């Protein structure tokens, strides 16, 4: 087995533990820096919106021998806007897209392109999209995204609790911000395919977060009925148990999307494949990061402010300090006791201190010795082997 596979197996069995939740300030700092860079890219470069959102014209040429650079120069000079030119086949057919054109300007651009290609104007297919229709599409896209967010919060609040719903919402906004910032940075055009990709990665990120939250909910089910671990420690144990599965799922999902982006879009010139593949690729990577490094640490922070859980954490730390003073050893990660989760270790009645007293262990961990019980005079009566001598 490789070293990576051996590490994954040890993480899954709980033999080793990465302190991901304990280092949450580092992950928060990294996320803040990435978010600031994303907003800076949006302010400096902005988004290159497609004709479906801003309106404009799309021209499709017949087979020709003109170069892409010459056609782009003519389209930008006649329209006064940035033109996107793509080849659609080996015969020289092109798709020319220019945003922000009205009907008069689109006709002038059509004539200039036909003159450059040496064809009649009627042979150059033109499709004009009005700006009002584009704004309507953009507004519906934002409305659909807002409805999706609301439904996500409601579902998670009902299935788990409001703290987990809030953490998941922050993680989703984190993923959206990074993806949009990357689009602004690389200058890719925002098309309906981009919106489809964003909705896809939001669903995938939510799926990964729900898997992590489900394990967290089960591990911390009886957290206040035990005095062995704090909530943060239990959250970290739960995250380590699902870490390998989350990484494997994300890598398997990223590989075909990477092929779609770098081979289909970059090498083969897939056109709209770039729009969809980039949003899915960046969103999958950001979603895998946020579900592990952001969502669970946020839940731990929110839950640690709860009065009951905070009191239990203080009891755990006080008991651990008393054991340290008594010279008792703990776990490798500083957590004394056996490797058991709250759901398995939680008693139905008294807590660990009460059970220690019944077992003859003092508050400081010293053993008082076995408690002596008087011998019952009726012991053995009525039993086949209980004959009194």
pLDDT of the residue at 270: 53
- Of residues 129 and 74, more confidence is placed in 74
pLDDT of the residue at 358: 42
- Of residues 332 and 123, more confidence is placed in 123
Is it the case that residue 362 has pLDDT exceeding 50?
A: no
Is it the case that residue 300 has pLDDT exceeding 80?
A: yes
Is it the case that residue 2 has pLDDT exceeding 70?
A: no
Domain residue ranges of the chain, discontinuous segments joined by +: 3-48+133-304, 56-129
- In which band, very low, low, confident or very high, does the pLDDT at 5 lie, cut at 50, 70 and 90? low
pLDDT of the residue at 27: 92
Q: What is the DSSP string of 110-144?
A: HHHHHHHHTS-GGGSEEEEE-HHHHHHHHHHHHHH
Instruction: Report the length, in residues, of the chain.
Output: 389
pLDDT in tens, 48-63: 777 777 778 888 888 8
Angle between helices 296-304 and 162-186 (to 10 degrees): 140
pLDDT of the residue at 9: 66
- Give helix then strand counts, H and E, for the chain: 14, 6
pLDDT in tens, 216-249: 888 888 888 888 889 999 999 888 888 878 888 8
Q: What is the DSSP string of 40-80?
A: HHHHHT--EE-HHHH-EEEEEPPS----HHHHHHHHHHHHS
- Of residues 200 and 383, more confidence is placed in 200
- All residues at 6 or more sequence positions from 179 whose CB lies less than 8 Å from its CB, including other chains: 198, 201, 279, 282, 283, 286
pLDDT of the residue at 291: 87
pLDDT of the residue at 268: 54
pLDDT of the residue at 189: 76
Structure token digits, residue 38:
């994303």
As a whole number, the mean pLDDT across the chain is 76
pLDDT in tens, 69-113: 888 888 888 887 778 787 776 777 888 888 777 777 888 888 888
- Which whole number is the average pLDDT over 364-388? 47
- Of residues 379 and 273, more confidence is placed in 273
The residues with which 361 forms a beta bridge, in sequence order, are 367
pLDDT of the residue at 267: 55
pLDDT of the residue at 297: 92
- In which band, very low, low, confident or very high, does the pLDDT at 204 lie, cut at 50, 70 and 90? confident
- Which whole number is the average pLDDT over 185-192? 79
pLDDT of the residue at 265: 57
- Which whole number is the average pLDDT over 157-163? 88
CATH number of 56-129: 3.30.70
pLDDT of the residue at 26: 93
Structure token digits, residue 326:
């008594």
Q: What is the DSSP string of 288-299?
A: HHHIIIIIHHHH
- In this structure, is the dihedral angle defined by the CA atoms of residues 82, 88, 90 and 91, taken in order, positive or negative? negative
Angle between helices 231-258 and 296-304 (to 10 degrees): 160
Fold entry, domain 3-48+133-304: Multidrug efflux transporter AcrB transmembrane fold (1.20.1640)
Rounded to an integer, what distance in angstroms lies between the CA atom of residue 302 and that of residue 289?
Answer: 19
- In which band, very low, low, confident or very high, does the pLDDT at 340 lie, cut at 50, 70 and 90? very low
- Of residues 366 and 66, more confidence is placed in 66
């Amino acid at each position: 087995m490789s070293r990576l596979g051996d590490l994954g197996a040890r993480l899954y069995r709980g033999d080793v533990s990465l302190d991901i939740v304990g280092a949450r300030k580092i992950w928060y700092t990294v996320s803040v820096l990435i978010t600031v860079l994303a907003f800076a890219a949006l302010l400096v470069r902005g988004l290159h919106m497609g004709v479906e959102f801003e309106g404009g014209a799309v021209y499709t040429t017949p087979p020709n021998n003109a170069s892409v650079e010459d056609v782009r120069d003519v389209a930008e000079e006649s329209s006064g806007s940035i033109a996107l030119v793509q080849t659609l086949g080996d015969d020289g057919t092109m798709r020319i897209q220019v945003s922000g054109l009205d009907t008069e300007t689109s006709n002038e651009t059509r004539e200039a392109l036909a003159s450059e290609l040496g064809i009649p104007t009627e042979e150059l297919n033109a499709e004009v999209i009005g700006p009002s229709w584009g704004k309507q599409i953009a507004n519906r896209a934002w409305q659909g995204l807002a409805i999706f967010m609301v439904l996500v919060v409601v579902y998670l609040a009902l299935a788990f609790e409001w703290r987990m719903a809030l953490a998941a919402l922050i993680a989703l906004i984190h993923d959206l911000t990074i993806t949009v910032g990357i689009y602004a940075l690389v200058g890719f055009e925002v098309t309906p395919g981009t919106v489809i990709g964003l909705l896809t990665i939001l669903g995938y990120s939510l799926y990964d977060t729900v898997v992590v939250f489900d394990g967290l909910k089960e591990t911390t089910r009886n957290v206040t009925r035990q005095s062995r671990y704090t909530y943060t420690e239990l959250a970290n144990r739960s995250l380590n148990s699902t870490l390998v599965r989350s990484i494997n799922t994300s890598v398997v999902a990223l590989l075909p999307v990477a092929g779609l982006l770098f081979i289909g879009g970059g090498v083969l010139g897939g056109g709209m494949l770039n729009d969809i593949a980039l949003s899915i690729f960046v969103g999958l990577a950001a979603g895998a990061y946020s579900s592990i490094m952001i969502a669970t640490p946020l839940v731990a922070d929110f839950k640690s402010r709860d009065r009951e859980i905070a009191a239990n954490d203080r009891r755990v730390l006080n008991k651990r300090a008393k054991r340290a003073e008594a010279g008792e050893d703990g776990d490798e990660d500083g957590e004394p006791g056996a490797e058991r989760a709250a759901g398995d270790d939680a008693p139905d009645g008294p807590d660990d201190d009460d059970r220690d007293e019944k077992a003859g262990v003092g508050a400081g961990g010293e053993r008082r010795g076995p408690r002596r019980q008087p011998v019952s005079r009726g012991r053995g009566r009525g039993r086949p082997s209980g004959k009194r001598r």
